[in-house]
Amino acid sequence: MTAEHSSDNEIYRQHLPEKKRIVVKVGSSSLLHSQTQRLDYHRIDRLAGELSDLKNAGKDVILVSSGAAAAGREALGLSSDVYRAEIGMNIKQACAAVGQARLIQIYQKFFSEYNQTCAQVLMTKNTVANPSSRENLQNTMEELLRLGVIPIVNENDSVAVNEFIVGDNDNLSAMVASVTHADLLILLSDVEGLFTDDPRKNPHASFIECVPHLDDTFLRMGKKSTGSFAGTGGMDTKLHAARIATASGCDMVICTTARGMGIIRDVATGKNVGTLFVACPDANFRLDDYIRQL
Ligand code: GLU
């Protein structure tokens, strides 16, 4: 797959610098120190710096950030072990409420150092499933971007109820990309991208640079678990996100922040990093129907 599509990959990547509206999703694992599961301020600062640069380069930038539950856990002094043992809905939602406020405070601080204004937008699955709230979301986002603001989106974890939870920010960010008609979605993760099989279990798994058309062969490569404690999205959710994004006409790249937040610039300037899923607009794709079955 890599060799066969390598020239296509180069051609598709050449178009990435032209993208105007970019959604960047950052997972909890990219915001935390892996040893302690505590917030990594240096990384959050670098993330704000990279996004501010994209903004200054004339892009519309939307950040979808996880990390509320982790920040809340840290603020409340709950160790990851205790948190894991007490993983009831109430404590999770309480942590998210505390942590979301803290997370936004930290983003505000760093973004203001780069002379940017950011905003908090919290949503649930219902926000997208319901036509009038979806339109409200779309209008608000459009207005924020027109005003030059960087919206920071998360699921409204502290009030979301089971049947309406998206649960992972991979799908949430793809919904945001779809609703805002973004043309590039970057999923920052602790994985390099898509492999033919789980590389932690199968040493022969090979890396896929480009998915020109997301069909069942690729969808079957999704794995249910990341193996990481911090986040909830595995490759499976990333492939669902790819389906939403590409069918909505948005390119998507999965890449890792293991070597730093500079990867955002690498993707946006067309470097061959991560896995690129090429937009394939599908007139029959209905976002509200698709998310109901997630
Ligand atoms: N919304 C969750 C949080 O902020 C994260 C969901 C995810 O890990 O994708 O903690």
pLDDT tens for 175-224 read 999 999 999 999 999 889 999 888 888 888 899 999 999 988 888 776 54
pTM of the model: 0.92
- The secondary structure element, H or E, covering residue 195 is strand 194-195
Q: How far is CA 252 from CA 23, 139, 239, in A?
A: 9, 23, 10
Ligand 1-lining residues (CB < 6 angstroms): 27-28, 66-69, 154-155, 157, 168-169, 231-233
Residue bearing the CA closest to ligand 1, atom 8: 231
pLDDT in tens, 228-287: 444 445 788 999 999 999 999 999 999 999 999 999 999 999 999 999 999 999 999 999
Domains (range + CATH), the chain: 3-292 (3.40.1160.10)
Tell me, in angstroms, the distance from the centre of ligand 1 to residue 3's CA: 35
CA distances in angstroms from 15 to 19, 178, 245, 266, 270, listed in the order given: 7, 19, 17, 13, 7
Per-residue pLDDT tens digits for 81-125: 666 666 677 888 899 999 999 999 999 999 999 999 999 999 999
Q: How far is CA 214 from CA 6, 14, 101, 192, 229, in A?
A: 16, 20, 37, 18, 28
Question: How many other C-beta atoms are found inside a 10 Å radius of the C-beta of residue 224?
Answer: 8
d(CA 241, CA 246): 8
Max Cα separation, the chain? 51
Instruction: Give me 92's structure tokens.
Output: 């999770």
Residue nearest (by alpha carbon) to ligand 1 atom 2: 66
Distance 283 CA to ligand 1 centre (A): 30
Q: Which residue has the higher pLDDT, 85 or 31?
A: 31
- pLDDT of res. 144: 98
Distance, CA of 124 to CA of 107 (rounded, Å): 21
Q: Tell me how far the alpha carbon of residue 169 lies from the centroid of ligand 1, in angstroms.
A: 6
Task: Give CB contacts under 8 A, 24+ apart, made by 258-261.
Answer: 258/190, 258/192, 260/43, 260/46, 261/43, 261/46, 261/47, 261/49, 261/50, 261/188
Q: What is the spatial distance between Cα 209 and Cα 274, in angstroms, rounded to a whole number? A: 6
